Structure 1
């Protein structure tokens, strides 16, 4: 895609008005500020019990429950089994989805069931690769929570297994299928922001829960928690409830803020601009406040370099997380280009285009005589660097989903189940998932090695 041609195409469409923009011919009149609707049509479907997709859940924790609730909103899907290493979560599964569902501590028993068509893998990160590979080999379609892997080296085995088994695998960065992402990609490809020069992503939190200090149930014990199985490939340590219920705080089981939060942004970024990912990362940060035994930072800042490709210019990306943000918290994802910027969310996209000042004003002219100032001004005027047409293509337009929009989480599962039914393609397959996870995990490599790291986004490995 040639960006210069794309920009001209976008400006022409903005001038004459098109369905792409969904607006009037004056979509970018000077100082304009307007809101336009986003919408999506879902295929109406009625399914008999014989046609339904039977679902199994592996990992009945916070994200596993939210995933399953979203999945069951899609017509023709039923949860029939759940697996977890804490008996209280198996009780919770029955409480939520019925006493007749099959529950087990051993996920392999769930995979043995012939009535299960697909599984959600929502376990701690260090178990993702093993369970996903086992599930694919057992003939199940897989929805795996992000990040796809705890270590980028594990990703190729998932890719190869998915291809050899022919089963489908969706990686669960739930915003990927959202209306916001879809619109942002459309606008970018139409040249709405010109050439991208920077990505600014941040997530600020100001609560113990937001910093992963999750509650520990009073009945937690070696009897109710299968701690040895939980450890898996991680170093063997004595039972400690915090490690099981707050596993994100430990690099032996999780991937820190990079794997939990950066990976969402990389999924969106790589999707919107059709990129394979960055080629260099440099991270800094530290443990500034939550000294609760964790060994991952609660403040993280990473700078990424993206090389020039056929779909985007070379640019830089800044990713930052602050788990002790005294401002009260918040977040943002902003693509900044040579001609505008897009602020992207799951439910909305805000496009702002400004006029680039090319003619000097009083600040830099003050050092010259009045006569010289006049000559300089006349010379700039003769070049016509700021035509009126440029000013007419500025302003702000926001595309927003309706209040009854089912959300990106629903859309991601809808995409998954439609693909299982042969009515579409997976939007975030394992190759895409590894590129998003690998880019995010570079932050950890750089932080713990205290140096910049280089990445091959095509081969998906460090160099």
Structure 2
């Protein structure tokens, strides 16, 4: 493992840090608890009207609005058009961003506008591939919401279209560019938690909204909603507003909890440890509460195997989603290693290093005579398994973003627009996006087939 040298460096720094922090009376606790402020510096530019990036939104729903709001905070960006299949959302777009923006139900009219430089694609998942490829072919830079694809086999075409077009394509897992991810990657590579053993991710929700029971507007009907276009390549069914406004609940249009939530975690995980992803998945779960017509589970547990690579040891990952969590809800993302644990969020990273117990306690000694117990203790003492250095090198360090941090969502768009201006690289290109989506979609594959499934993370295909 090429981390060994950097790990020794981290341990040395952590030990020195703990020694400095353990002035009396804390010195007797043999542990440290420190907090460090993170920082982010952005370039300051004044763009003229001619230098601005003209942006269009395709899919002006919940995520599309949040995406656009974050994008417009980046200097030198202006929204000029919006597209949606429900007319009420077009009215909302004008309400938010002005009557001067061009609105349409037909995304192709957006792509025909020569003055549009980039598009946000925030449509239902089953439209991602087609619109992304069409936009790239029309010479538009693309920010495509996660998951990049609805089906495994759709990803390679997007990769090729991006390469052929030479346009920028960023996949929108918005925490990817955050201060938390950036610091976590650095700490992992420095060996802060040793060799990775397990990833623990969970997301608990306890509300109808959290379970995707979004409100349906009273004016929704066959005239205000272009339902036939919405269906696209999906099976033809009669107009049903729940399918349009709550599309995440249906396999025909969405990707379930795996594509909506697992993919965020895989993006972060693969980024931090420089991995191509898992090679095996086994899922279980069920529809436990929200019997509202949906055909995807509201409780999902999936176990993943990651093979050993140059950047990480072989390890296991556990992903759990519960949409009827009576505890009130919450979430977590923890990398657990042989020498510590790292909790990662967009705005913070918390590393906890504990002392590994190497000597026997009264529990395992009770079966021996007092004389034998003493001989065993002396034997362990001679081996010097518990050094002062290892005792000092325990405790917790939290890296926290400042109160005025603009956030991971802003940073992801900043990365996207900066890549457009400099012809640089994005943090989440289509290849990365397919590996994150592919790993997430393994959960659906295993769940519906009721068996483990294998995946080639390098070639990005089922085995």
TM-score interval for Structure 1 and Structure 2 normalised by the shorter chain: over 0.9
Does structure 1 residue 435 correspond to structure 2 residue 422? Answer: no
Q: Quick check: 1:218 aligned with 2:194?
A: no
Matches within 5 A, 1:341-360: 341-360=341-360
Number of the residue aligned with 2:377: 377
Q: Is the 1:129–1:148 Cα contact (8 Å) retained in structure 2?
A: yes
- Tell me by how many angstroms 1:3 deviates: 2.7
Pairing 1:307–2:307 present: yes
Q: Which residue of 2 aligns with 1:55?
A: 55
Q: Describe the SS at the equivalent of 2:127.
A: helix
User: Which runs of 5 or more structure 1 residues have no equivalent in the other structure?
Assistant: 18-22
- After the TM superposition, which of the residue ranges 82-91 and 423-432 deviates more from structure 2? 423-432
Q: Determine if contact 2:354/2:394 at 8 Å carries over to the other structure.
A: yes
C-alpha distance in 1, partners of 2:165/2:7? 43
Q: Give the Cα–Cα distance (whole angstroms) in 1 for the partners of residues 144 and 247 of structure 2.
A: 17
Match of 2:154 in 1: 154
Note the alpha carbon deviations across 1:177-233, whole angstroms, 9 max, x for none. Answer: 000000000000000000000000000000000000000000000100000000000
**Cα deviation digits, residues 399-418 of structure 1 (max 9, x gap):** 10011111000000000000
**SS class of match (1:444):** helix
Question: 2:337 aligns to what?
Answer: 337
Q: Tell me the distance in 2 between the aligned counterparts of 1:417 and 1:388.
A: 50
Q: TM-score, normalised by structure 1?
A: 0.97
By how many angstroms is 1:371 displaced? 1.0
How many residue pairs get aligned? The number is 458
User: Is the deviation greater in 31-40 or in 88-97?
Assistant: 31-40
- Following the alignment from structure 1 to structure 2, what is the Cα–Cα distance between the partners of residues 314 and 402? 35
Q: Which residue of 1 aligns with 2:264?
A: 264
Q: CA deviation at 1:26?
A: 4.2
Contact 1:445/1:453 (CA < 8 Å) preserved in 2? yes
Partner of 2:69: 69
Q: 2:107 maps to which residue?
A: 107
- Give me the whole-angstrom Cα distance separating, in 2, the residues matched to 1:8 and 1:95: 56
C-alpha distance in structure 2 between counterparts of 1:56 and 1:350, whole Å? 38
Task: Find the aligned partners of 1:5 and 1:313 in 2 and give their Cα distance.
Answer: 16
Aligned residue for 2:49, secondary structure, equals coil
1:406 counterpart residue number: 406
Whole-Å Cα distance in 2 between the matches of residues 134 and 3 of structure 1?
A: 42
Query: By how many angstroms is 1:4 displaced?
Result: 2.6
**Matched position secondary structure for 2:81:** strand
Q: CA deviation at 1:14?
A: 2.2
Question: Is 1:326–2:333 an aligned residue pair?
Answer: no
Q: CA deviation at 1:35?
A: 1.3
Q: Shift of the alpha carbon at 1:13?
A: 2.4
Question: Aligned partners of 1:25, 1:410: CA distance in 2, in Å?
Answer: 36
**TM-score normalised by the chain length of structure 2:** 0.97
Distance 1:24-1:369 versus aligned 2 partners, 3 A rule: closer
In structure 1, the partner of 2:131 is: 131
| Distance in 2 of aligned mates of 1:86 and 1:93 | 11
Cα distance change, pair 139–43 in 1 and its aligned pair in 2 (3 A): same
Q: Distance in 2 between matches of 1:255 and 1:291?
A: 18
Deviations, residues 357-391 of structure 1 (Å, cap 9, x unaligned): 00001110000011111111111111101111001
**Partner secondary structure for residue 175 of structure 1:** coil
Contact 2:155–2:434 (CA under 8 A) maintained in structure 1: yes
Cα offset, 1:24, TM superposition: 8.6
Deviation at 1:25, TM superposition (A): 4.8
> How far apart in 2 are the matches of 1:363 and 1:272?
39
Contact 2:288 2:298 in 1 (8 A): yes
Q: Residue by residue, what CA displacement relative to the aligned partner does 1:7-29 show, whole Å, maximum 9, x if unpaired?
A: 21211222345xxxxx9954997
Instruction: State the secondary structure of the residue aligned to 2:441.
Output: helix
Change (3 A) 1:149 1:367: same
Q: Secondary structure at the match of 1:381?
A: helix
Contact kept in structure 1, 2:19 and 2:392, CA below 8 Å:
no
**Residue in 2 that maps onto 1:20:** none
Q: Secondary structure at the match of 1:264?
A: helix
Alignment correspondent of 1:15: 15
Q: Determine the C-alpha separation between the residues in 1 that align with 2:8 and 2:260.
A: 38
Asked whether the 8 Å contact 1:197–1:314 carries over to 2, the reply is yes
Pairwise CA RMSD: 1.3
1:456 maps to which residue?
Answer: 456
